[in-house]
Structure 1
Amino acid sequence: MQHLDVQVVEQGLAWLNAGETIWLCTVLSTFGSSPRKPGSIMVARGDGRHVGSLSGGCVEEDFLERVQRGEFNQRVCVERYGDPRDEASSERPRVQLPCGGILEVLVERLSPEDDNRQHMAELLGVLRGQQQKLRTVSLSDGHCTLRPVVEAGGETVAVTAGCVSLRVGPASRLIIAGLSSVARPCAEFAVALGYEVIVCEPREEEYRDFNLAGVRLEKIFPSVFIAGPGNCHQQTAVVAMTHDPRIDDLAMMEAVRTDAFYIGVMGSRRTSDKRATRLLSSGGLSAAEVERIHMPIGLALGSKTPAEIALAVMADILRVQRGIRRDAL
């Protein structure tokens, strides 16, 4: 899940609590090129206000116009956008995606009732929590449930006879251990990619003028924050790029004890070899724990500038998160 999804559910719950009816939309499947992947969500209310997105804008525009005209009064339905075969039917949305793709969207109409408020509150708790859950929606009556996931891996969306299953879980998080010239563009890239970004920096001279939109600053040692309960979950990446062993090494020592899917530290091959030796000896890490650390960090793109290095770092994080081997690039 993206951090934007947290904002979508937060706003949806706030509108329900204020007595508003909401429409929760989820991308079920895509065919051909499409701007958003399955599982992407948007919430809207009857006056057209919305948070989140389903496409590059064309689908949202059509959907919001139809909501304001009084359409989508049923509890649940599936809409198909971008299919030229639907042009002949006046009951289908006549929207062609600029990229030529096709989207199937689950639309749920949620009135401000206790059951719906409770479900959205539970969904928000999952996105802010540590474990994945399976959200099931009946296509006959819209009944929703959240239950534990049996297997860690699997498709984000599954549609069976009369039911949609949506795998939901913690929003992707990036913890940046310490500020540096590379950390800043890395944080900006991560925000744009939909990560929840947390920078841990105990040095006042470094964080004094730090102010990046969408980035949370924790004025403590990264190792302390990383070790805190619930701060590193299965959708967390931890990176250190300060060249200060007091920050970088300690952050790595704590990160390998968590469920973080990506752990990396910046440095040349020679610096990385020396760090590995330190972590094995004085750091007390096992060979398997050291092996979890990506060092040198990032893809080998020939990066030189801070922004180029940050790009290589985020590209490698995305590669690992998508389960793509380096030799498959």
Structure 2
Amino acid sequence: MDSVNLEVLRQAVAWNEAGIPVTLATVVRTWGSSPRPEGALLTIAGDGRLVGSVSGGCIEDDLLDRLRSERPTAPEHVTYGITAEQTRRFGLPCGGKLELVLEPIGPANRLAETLAAIERGEMVARSLDLITGAVDLLGDVPDAAVVFDGKTLVSAFGPRWRMLIIGAGQLSRYLAEFALALDYQVTISEPREEYRDSWTVPGATITTEMPDDAVIALRPDRRTVIIGATHDPKLDDLALIDALKTNAFYIGAIGSRANSERRRERLKLFDLTDADVDRLHGPVGLPLGARTPPEIALAILADITARRNGVALTAAVERIPSSAEACPTLA
């Protein structure tokens, strides 16, 4: 889960434990261009303080007015953007529609248990029965942020997405900066002292462990991304051999098509099946014609983001003239 939702849960638990009335709002469905994704959270205290967001601000204002007049005593299903007038009033994009579940946080909400599981690095699913208000914690965690059928809301929670980058070169700097901006927890494996000494990206953890040891220590899960970024088989391949045996969400390595094919053949010598090796993204990233380190980092994060969001990238990429090629010259 992202750091905003994590802060929402922390604040909701703190207010609840302090005896302050709390309402938790969850985005459960969106249509059109919605300002916040499904699963986004907002918590509102009885005194009007709020943390998180479900829109650009107008819906938050309406929720505050609604809660000032009457706080819910049971879960409620609320829809915004039913009419064109509502869409304009609440600042939703054209065609936008937003459904929320408002939940009064009571003594049996199990939010503290949910938060404790997240802090331990565990995945957890919290199920809310809108009819009875009963809350359960489930062992079977859905891939989607929320699953809502009108009667039951199941929200998937877990630790932040993590990215392990092999090498602390120039490309890794941009990868780390972009990933941090996208709320990843970033770790750099760099056993080479000369590269570590020049690392200047705050917010990323740099380790001296060899890449294979860094992968093992990370214990990759389906919210983990691992990128080999050194161009050195002695480092990248070390990480990939262990990474491809895990259930990491995305595993990739930089390199040309020819080098990527040679890498695949090398990996098959290390007790990896064809299915294991087929999980490797290489050359890594979307085919954007990237050449500079920031362009390559952008292509890599764009591919990962699309796959996280379930966007199918199956269309053929057509070569079009660059802006320079398209400009006519004067005779």
Following superposition, the deviation at residue 302 of structure 1 comes to 0.1
Q: How many pairs are equivalent? A: 315
In the other structure, the counterpart of 1:312 is 299
- 1:146 is matched with 137
Structure with bigger gyration radius: 2
**Are the equivalent residues in 1 in contact too, given 2:114–2:124 (CA < 8 A)?**
no
- 1:124-273 equivalences under 5 Å are 124-128=115-119, 132-149=123-140, 156-160=146-150, 162-208=151-197, 210=199, 212=201, 214-228=203-217, 231-273=219-261
State the one-letter code of the partner of 1:267: G
The 2-side partners of 1:206 and 1:20 are apart by 50
Structure 1: state its 5+ residue gaps: 88-92
2:143, 2:156 within 8 Å by CA — same for their partners in 1?
no
Deviations 1:86-115 (A, max 9, x none): 85xxxxx9524145411111111214x4x3
The match for 2:78 is 79
| 8 Å contact from structure 1 (residues 256, 293) kept in 2 | yes
Any idea what SS the aligned residue of 1:304 has? coil
CA distance in 2, matches of 1:145, 1:34: 29
Partners in 2 of 1:50 and 1:325 — Cα distance?
Answer: 36
Instruction: Write the distance in 1 (CA, Å) between the matches of 2:58 and 2:210.
Output: 45
Percent identity between the two aligned chains: 38
Structure 2: unaligned runs, 5 residues or longer? 317-331
Partner residue in 1 for 2:325: none
2:265 to 266, 270, 277: 277
Partner of 2:284: 297
Alpha-carbon shift at residue 264 of structure 1 (Å): 0.2
Change (3 A) 1:213 1:102: farther
Cα distance, 1:234 vs structure 2:
1.4
CA deviations over 1:67-87 (Å, ceiling 9, x no partner): 4x3543424222222332785
Give the whole-Å Cα distance in 2 for the aligned partners of 1:139 and 1:155: 18
Change (3 A) 1:37 1:25: same
The aligned amino acid for 2:114 is L
Paired position in structure 2 for 1:90: none
User: Aligned with 2:299: secondary structure?
Assistant: helix
2:102 matches 1:107: yes
Q: Name the SS of the counterpart of 1:243 in structure 2.
A: coil
Sort the Cα spacing of 1:298 and 1:82 in 2 relative to 1 into closer, same or farther, 3 A.
Answer: same
1:142-186 Cα offsets, whole Å, 9 max, x none, are 221111228x656832224x4323344454332222222222222
CA RMSD of superposed structures (Å): 3.0
Taking structure 2 as the reference length, what is the TM-score of the superposition?
0.81
Q: CA deviation at 1:136?
A: 1.8
Q: More deviation in 189-198 or 238-247?
A: 189-198
State the distance in 2 between where 1:61 and 1:199 align. Answer: 42
Larger RCO, structure (CA 8 Å, separation 6 or more): 1
Per mean C-alpha deviation after superposition, the further-off stretch among 290-299 and 208-217 is: 208-217
Instruction: Check whether the contact 1:233–1:258 (CA below 8 A) recurs between aligned residues.
Output: yes
Question: CA 1:324–1:140 in structure 2 vs 1: closer, same or farther (change >3 Å)?
Answer: closer
Determine the structure 2 residue equivalent to 1:23. Answer: 23
d(CA) in 2 for partners of 1:240, 1:315: 16
CA distance in 2, matches of 1:225, 1:157: 34
Distance 1:44 1:197 in 2: 31
Counterpart CA distance in 2 for 1:43 and 1:198 is 31
Give the C-alpha shift of residue 312 in structure 1.
0.8
Question: What is the SS of the residue equivalent to 1:326?
Answer: coil
Could you list the per-position Cα deviations for residues 250-269 of structure 1 after superposition, in whole angstroms to 9, with x for gaps in the alignment? 11111111111210001112
> What is the aligned counterpart of 2:113 among 122, 127, 131?
122
- Give the AA of the match of 2:53: S
